[in-house]
Amino acid sequence: MERGGYIIDLGLLDYQKAWDLQHRLWSRRVEGELPDLLLILEHPHVITLGRRGNRSHLIASPEVLEAMKIPILHVERGGDVTYHGPGQMVVYPILDLKEYGYRLIRYIGQLEEVILCVLKDAGIEGRRDPLNRGVWVDGEKIASVGVAIKRWVSFHGFSLNYETNLKYFELINPCGLKGKKMTTMAKILGTEISRERLIERISFHFKQIFERDWKEKDLKDLIADGRLKLSTKYKSDRVISH
């Protein structure tokens, strides 16, 4: 397999569909049928529970969540409970970590470094917390990291709040942390955030840290050249509205 990689902007994609897609791409990366991949996308409203996920950290009742049409999924990523929704950039690297010589802790640190660099470009000083992974700004969390690694190939990844509606985090104890608040780039800067510029900065810093010959691709390109077989249900909605 070539030492290259594909960056794919999936737009707005349902969490379950994106989860299924990750598994398909992970399998093909394990078999060497695809190079490293970086998926960048947003999800409609959803709450996910990681391996340490505890339903006691759901503040809203199942009835309230059902009425709000917010599904809950238990997934294999690390971490506890989190919320995904429009205005939050989600990044799923599907990497063969053997080729980088990375262990889990270093890999998580490198993902945090990508986030820190992106925030610095915007004039925001983020910081790490070794007890609570992710990135923080003035005591509030702006980005969460939760990964899975099987057969040395990663999936899941990180989420960065850029224009997220923070009221949805009130439905949970984010990452299982009581009393902690979430924040967004837009809230800190008091201005709108360009999605296109944000994707460009994420891609740039990812390329700097995870050195490969990265190329932008569309999912349909992989289907067209026979490297991936998927049904049309994976077509994303490119119109992002908050």
The reported pLDDT for the residue numbered 49 is 87
Whole-number Å distance between alpha carbons of 211 and 205: 10
Query: 3-state SS of 41-109?
Result: EECCCEEEECCCCCHHHECCCHHHHHHCCCCEEECCCCCCEEEECCCEEEEEEECEHHHCCCCHHHHHH
The reported pLDDT for the residue numbered 236 is 47
CA atoms within 13 A on the CB side of 233: 10
The reported pLDDT for the residue numbered 152 is 93
- Write the single-letter amino acid at 211: E
Give me the tens of pLDDT residue by residue for the chain, a chain 242 residues long.
457 899 999 999 999 999 999 999 999 999 999 999 999 999 999 999 887 766 777 888 889 998 999 999 888 887 778 899 999 999 999 999 988 887 888 999 999 999 999 999 999 999 999 888 999 999 999 999 999 999 999 999 999 999 999 999 999 877 666 778 999 999 999 999 999 999 999 999 999 999 989 999 998 888 766 666 655 454 544 433 33
With a threshold of 0.75, does the pTM exceed it? yes
Whole-number Å distance between alpha carbons of 145 and 237: 25
17 to each of 21, 50, 177, 188, 219, how far by Cα in Å?
A: 6, 17, 28, 32, 13
Q: Which of 8, 175, 182, 202 is catalytic?
A: 175
Residue 175 among the catalytic residues: yes
- Write the single-letter amino acid at 119: L
Whole-number Å distance between alpha carbons of 91 and 84: 12
Whole-number Å distance between alpha carbons of 173 and 130: 19
Query: Mapping DSSP to helix (H, G, I), strand (E, B) and coil, where does residue 40 land?
Result: strand
In degrees, to the nearest 5, what angle opens at C-alpha 187 toward C-alphas 78 and 237?
A: 65
Q: What is the pLDDT of residues 144-195, one digit of tens each?
A: 999 999 999 999 999 999 999 999 999 987 766 677 899 999 999 999 999 9
DSSP string, 1-17: --SEEEEEEEEE--HHH
Query: Mapping DSSP to helix (H, G, I), strand (E, B) and coil, where does residue 178 land?
Result: coil
The reported pLDDT for the residue numbered 54 is 64
Whole-number Å distance between alpha carbons of 110 and 93: 12
Residue 89 in tokens: 């950039």
The reported pLDDT for the residue numbered 1 is 45
